[in-house]
Amino acid sequence: MVTPTLKLNSLFAVPFGEMRLVPCERLNQELESLFLRRESAEYKNPTPSHIAQEETFESRFNLFRWPEACVQELCNFMLNAVAQMVIETTSLKGEDIAQLKFQNHTWFHISRYAGSFVAHNHPLASWSAVYCVRAGESVPQHPDSGVLRFLDVRQGANAYLDPANVSLRRPYALAPVEFKLEAGQMVMFPSYVFHEVTPFYGSDTRITVATNCWFA
């Protein structure tokens, strides 16, 4: 008897991209220095969409309009990566994307001790990305300090568990996905995915740049 072959398909999958800037040290140092100098009321987001936490500074959303060379270098890296993500996951080609108006809101976060950001997604955007400028201190007794956590979009899928679905392997596991970002690392994901930053317990700073992109 021939054993039938199982064909396993992934349905309703969420595309998730990672990219690393190598080397990143010089650029990150320039960005960190610039951001810390501009951690002020003038550059602070005046209309935060969530309850602002004083331990986490959020800049205005116009970061990629800053003319500084380090910002424009990061802009090129991040937006090119997002465009590549679109090419990898859609039927669009590079020349198609070139015909579109590629828009973004981009900002930076500086988190200090006990800084966090509540779970949220980004309406009116299609792709989002987070780049890590500075990971911040790792605290052994707080292994989930400053983690970027993506909530499972299959809400309620874990309501009934038994031994046959409780230990599903990735990408089927019914659990959040967590990233302890490293300097130079960037993650990209659809803007509808809820995500949060857990409280950061380092004694220094955690610095990230986030962008929301949409095309017309």
Which residues bind to another protein, rule: CB under 8 A?
51, 53, 113-114, 116, 118-119, 121, 123-124, 141-142, 144, 149, 151, 155-156, 158-162, 176, 191-192, 194, 196, 198-199, 201
Residue 204 CB, shortest distance to another protein, in Å, is 16
CB 17 within 8 A of CB 85: yes
Nearer to another protein, 43 or 200 (CB): 200
Residue 98 CB, shortest distance to another protein, in Å, is 26
Residue 192 CB, shortest distance to another protein, in Å, is 5
171: its two tokens = 């990408």
- Cα 18 to Cα 2, 14, 82, 128: the distances in Å are 41, 13, 10, 12
CB 74 within 8 A of CB 24: no
Nearer to another protein, 11 or 159 (CB): 159
* Strands 102-111 vs 206-215: parallel, antiparallel or unpaired: antiparallel
Give the three-class secondary structure for 116. strand
Nearer to another protein, 34 or 52 (CB): 52
Residue 128 CB, shortest distance to another protein, in Å, is 12
- Among candidate residues 24, 21, 57, 41, the one with its CA nearest the CA of residue 200: 57
Nearer to another protein, 22 or 51 (CB): 51
